[in-house]
Amino acid sequence: MTHYTNIAQSLKQSADLYPFKRAVVYPASRDRSGRVLYSQLTFRQLDQQSDNLAAGLDSIGIGRGTRTILMVTPGINFFLTVFAMFKIGAVPVVVDPGMGIDRMLQCLARSRPTAFIGIEKAHVLRTLRPGFFKTVKRWVTVGKKWFWGGHTLNQLMNRFPGTPFKSVQTTENETAAIVFTTGSTGPAKGVIYTHGNFDAQIRQIQSHFKIAPDEVDLPTFPLFALFDPALGMTAVIPDMDPTKPALVNPVKIIEAIENHGVTNMFASPALLNRVGKYGRENEIKLPSLRRVVSAGAPVSPANIEQFSSMLSSETQIHTPYGATEAVPIISIGSHEILSETRKLSEQGFGMCVGRPIENTKVKLIEISDEPITQIQEIQEVPENQVGEITVKADLVTEHYFNDANADLLAKIPDTDGKVWHRMGDLGWKDSKGRIWFCGRKAHRVETGKETLFTIPVEAIFNNHEKVYRSALTGVGPKNRQTPVVFVEPFEKISDEKQFLLELSDLAGKNPLTAGIESIFIEYKFPVDIRHNSKIFREKLAIKARELITE
């Protein structure tokens, strides 16, 4: 039996239920006194104007199944464009610009797009590097069109004003979007999201976090903002550079929360740390917040405790676990972290990410770098033993775009026609059914005598009062690697020799780190631009090889 679904239908439902509620609020400018002036659309306006744009896009040949590069900054036009694309069944192709221009262009070319919607800067790039856009036939500029051809967003919006657009009837297995991974532990891959995946995500988020009809969200990560209209939440776009959350101005984030009575906030660990530090130092309270969601990398208990100083006693910071291919699948709240799991995390047990959400199924299997072609081949590990995390749920994506080898390595077919996704992460399960994250599979260090996992090892070094974060990496051939640890201090160390002696002494007192002799100071870790939190240990490994061989 064919099942039909489309995230655009959720927008129409929100428009029917809350026609005059604000859907999107954008900081447009400031008055002479420095107060923020906002632009906004209600749910009815967002639905009607995205109808207009959908009709315009359809009229120039961008329609069902059209793979379309989307390079639009967060704001009202971003929401209008994405929902118009969903209504016509076009497929947005989204790539993280933080991976670097060359890698981004390679990803875009691999997706074989036939349409391009982007801001002026994006069109400048495509005119300078035309070889990566040979398959593109239709161009749309969000803003002013300069010396290139194509159409503008405003032109298309005004072609059929006030005409309701009947959304295409997409199936649950039909491709809705292609979102590329950051490629932090390997080549970036195009994740195929179906309309069924998006529908399952919305239902899971709504149910687990208990989103209420009067909610106002501050989504500091643009892609997560797309769920807001479908959930009936007002999306307040923050005044920040979304590619640099670690450099965000805390005053502007707090200002947005207070101006709009924000009830829900998403923040990467780096942004959480920066705003939390400012808030605690200035004794700021944010009573409107009902929940904070932080993801993108492990969130330290110290970071959670710091930000919690601004929250009411009932409000929790949730740290859902997942990946581009499957999110959210596991979650835990700050009350349980700070009262129970924190002490164990700091002792090197790993980072507790919580229990599976709703109907998500999780299996921990024996660690392997080889493909698993059928579910009968897996061997589950017992409680308290580290294994590879695999998940199965309706929101779990089942394929990569034109990448059979990636499918082979990451997907395990099940007998019911669904797939298990191999997260590429390692962890163990305790007697309470909680999963403890121990790091990426690709980052484990095998010495021949033992296998070291990043999160437990790094926790020991992070206990030093001067250490902001640390990173384990390995040098040498597999099964004979030399473990190397880099530490990033909070500030410049005056006596580096003494500092390293203290770290060496700290390592020697713990069985997890007793065999680590190579410790180096790195004042600025290489991190991903998307969340400014994931450490690029591969880059540190190259530096480690140079230091070890000196």
Per-residue model confidence as pLDDT tens digits over 1-59: 789 999 999 999 999 999 999 999 999 999 999 999 999 999 999 999 999 999 999 99
Return the pLDDT at 179.
96
Q: Convert 39-94 into a string of H (helix), E (strand) and C (coil).
A: EEEEHHHHHHHHHHHHHHHHHCCCCCCCEEEEECCCCHHHHHHHHHHHHHCCEEEE
Per-residue model confidence as pLDDT tens digits over 356-412: 999 999 999 999 999 999 999 999 999 999 999 999 999 999 999 999 999 999 999
Return the pLDDT at 531.
61
How many CB atoms are closer than 10 A to CB 296?
A: 24
Nearest to 246 by CA among 272, 222, 221, 223: 272
Return the pLDDT at 483.
97
Q: Which superfamily is assigned to 444-549 in CATH?
A: ANL, C-terminal domain (3.30.300.30)
423 burial level (CB within 10 Å; 0-12, 13-18, 19+): buried
CA–CA distance, 163 with 55 (Å, rounded to integer): 8
- pTM beyond 0.85: the answer is yes
Return the pLDDT at 185.
66
CA–CA distance, 273 with 352 (Å, rounded to integer): 19
The residues, ordered by sequence, that sit 6+ positions from 104 with a Cβ below 8 Å of its Cβ are 95, 96, 97
The kind and range of the H/E element at 404 are: helix 404-410
From the CA atom positions of the chain, what is the Rg in Å? Answer: 24
Domain boundaries, the chain: 7-20+37-194, 350-442, 444-549
350-442 is classed CATH 2.30.38.10: yes
What is the separation, in whole angstroms, between the first and last Cα of the chain? 65
Return the pLDDT at 100.
83
CATH class for the domain made up of 7-20+37-194: alpha beta
pLDDT block averages, 10 residues each, the chain of length 550: 92 96 97 96 98 98 98 95 98 88 94 98 96 98 95 96 93 97 81 97 95 94 88 96 88 98 95 96 98 92 96 97 95 98 97 96 97 95 98 97 96 96 98 97 95 97 96 94 97 97 97 96 86 83 88
Write b or e for each residue in 384-413: b if 16 or more Cβ atoms lie within 10 A of its Cβ, otherwise e. eebbbbbbbbbbbbbbbbebeebbebbbbe
